[in-house]
Chains A and B, each alone.
Chain A
Amino acid sequence: GESVGLHLPTLSVQEGDNSIINCAYSNSASDYFIWYKQESGKGPQFIIDIRSNMDKRQGQRVTVLLNKTVKHLSLQIAATQPGDSAVYFCAETEAGSYQLTFGKGTKLSVIP
């Protein structure tokens, strides 16, 4: 089946800088896109989601951008902090479906 994937497996950023984590998807029927954060030894934690009829959504220090033309999703983290160090997963789901399809993850390391 179609899958969600990531461009970069690892990302290192300086504390205070902005981080951008990218994700490519291939399922044109995807209706929602979701970002999860997973800290070492813990389960994933929901960050933010965006519906396919939107191109931008903002949360606390995070912004998700969606470009359906090129099937690309990104998560921007402003003023990255050491507590942001984790693996970030994008996921997608079709309209009316309960099933989330996860990408393989990007590891974000914040350099103090």
Chain B
Amino acid sequence: NAGVTQTPKFQVLKTGQSMTLQCAQDMNHEYMSWYRQDPGMGLRLIHYSVGAGITDQGEVPNGYNVSRSTTEDFPLRLLSAAPSQTSVYFCASSYSGSQGFRSYNEQFFGPGTRLTVL
């Protein structure tokens, strides 16, 4: 299994540009999520999904969109990039509550995408 994969690894954008960060998992996990990690801030939840067709907002959703058309993929879209969105982005997946009691505590993280917005 490849686990959780993310592309690209690095990206530089200009203010106002849009882009999509890709995330895929091959573990048949129902739960997927996106976090951003800023220095000294830990990880903050952007959006999450408990299954195909279902998404919800996390702690810092503004400026980001998500969709979940398949179990495997969970792309994150930046609508109009701003310098405040410069960060490292992590995608994670886990079994959902319906797949095992509290199994979503053990989230599997991808390697991250380092995004710089100029």
Contact = CB atoms under 8 A, between A and B. Distances in A.
Interface string B91-113: 01000110000101111111110
Interface string B70-107: 00000000000000000000101000110000101111
A49 B43 contact: no
Interface in A12-71: 32, 34, 41-46, 49, 51
Contact of B109 (A41, A45, A99, A105): A45
Interface residues of A, number: 21
Interface residues of B, number: 28
A62 B96 CA distance: 25
B106 A44 contact: no
A74 interface: no
B41 A104 contact: yes
Given A49-B106, A99-B58, A42 B111 contact: yes
A100 B31 CA distance: 13
Contacts of A34: 105-106
Nearest to B41: A104
